[in-house]
Amino acid sequence: MNTKKIYSCVAFLMILLLLAGCSIGNNDKNSGEKDMSEAEDNHNQEDIQPPVEKIDPIKEQIKEMSIEEKIGQMVVVGLEGYTLDDNSRKMIEEYKVGGIIIFGKNVESSSQLLSLVNSLKETNSKNRIPLFISVDEEGGRVSRMPKEIKKLPTNKKIGQINNKELSYEIGTVLAEELKLFGFNMDFAPVLDINSNPKNPVIGDRSFGTNAAIVSDLGIQTMKGIQSEEVVSVIKHFPGHGDTSVDSHVGLPAVDHDLERLMSFELIPFKEAIDNGADTVMVAHILLKKIDPDYPSSLSKTIITDILREDLGFNGVVISDDMTMGAIAENYEIGDASVNAINAGSDIVLIAHGFDNGVSAINSIKEAVTNGTISEDRLNDSVYRILSLKEKYNMTDETKDTIDTEDINNKFKEILE
């Protein structure tokens, strides 16, 4: 073999070796890139975690509550006399009721009222959830405050003035007055339209005879009350202004259909709901063309279908007093309380009689036991109740002293 051929063979072999080396290098490089890509994929997969469900402290609190505690939160009761008696203490300590309502019969003086409210809170401080301390303080003839406190004019008089700023100011002063004594819930304002001059129960408690005035002034009063961290309870849904019977005595019946209600009686309630109403009280009225079988306070059609679904209300629903003649003369109070809850009420108000309160609580508990009321139904109501108490920063903190001079001066300024 000549030298030229030898060089050619050597050159050829060297080229083959170089090509093989490049191929191996490229394979190594591709392998490295693949390894890095897999590592990045694995890293990205580790970064993508399922969303962590946000813990709702109120739901967690409800999980820790007994059935008895849940039922208790759904009942507000009254008491007898000027001091905390054994029955009222039992309602708080044993039955763990969610709230107390104070009436004029419980009020003797400013110092006495403050002492009573403090004793309620001190007794409840052993429980985990603060009390609603509630009252009907509308102004005018419906006032539970001590005689030392000046009185506000009637809503009818305020309606004649028809000043929104004044109504807001009245709401704030009402709430300031209540806070002096430790109240945190006011069953006001009245949003009934006084369309029937023979109405025996509303009259001058209403702002007027047309929906616009009642809506405008009622909403401003509501907002004024809320501004001072007192719960405003609008009432009496779906409208007590065109009745001819006082529901304290008997069951009023009204012939209006839903179209009429939507175009008149429900206007103030709808507008209040759209403006942030927290709580609605449902009246004892039989609307024969809407629910011929049950009064509104026991009617699923009225509370769930109309109030919650049609008007979009998601807050707390409370019945009017279940010991009023409209209910007491026609129903057993325990059965009525169960019906009210299944209709959509969150709280039943049992304003008079220790035995009535016990009957309501025991009937609700029995209904949960036999499945007439589900525990989920309880949980829905308790969630709304606890949310409301949290929103208004409720506590069982007591007050040391009270000075009525400042609030009287504010009332005087308003009246002038």
Judge whether 35 counts as a catalytic residue: no
Judge whether 274 counts as a catalytic residue: no
CA dist., res. 361 & res. 73, Å (int): 10
Alpha-helical runs (H) found in 189-288: 211-227, 258-263, 267-274
| Contacts of residue 390, Cβ cutoff 8 Å, sequence gap at least 6 | 58
CA 386, 389, 392, 394 torsion-angle sign: negative
Q: Quote the tokens at residue 250.
A: 């008997």
Beta carbons of 287 and 254 less than 8 angstroms apart: yes
CA-CA-CA-CA dihedral for 293, 297, 299, 305, to nearest 10: 150
CA dist., res. 30 & res. 25, Å (int): 8
Q: Quote the tokens at residue 347.
A: 């709280």
| Contacts of residue 244, Cβ cutoff 8 Å, sequence gap at least 6 | 196, 198, 199, 200, 252
Helix 333-343 with 375-391: angle, nearest 10 deg: 80
CA 387 to chain centre: 7
Closest residue by Cα to residue 253 from 326, 159, 148? 326
Q: Considering the candidates 248, 305, 310, 335, report the single residue annotated as catalytic.
A: 248
- Cα angle 250, 252, 258 (rounded to 5 degrees) comes to 155
SS3 350: strand
SS3 186: strand
CA dist., res. 333 & res. 226, Å (int): 32
CA dist., res. 289 & res. 280, Å (int): 22
Residue 400 buriedness (CB in 10 A; 0-12 / 13-18 / 19+): exposed
Q: Considering the candidates 291, 320, 321, 346, report the single residue annotated as catalytic.
A: 320
Residue at 213: amino acid letter = I
Active site residues: 248, 320
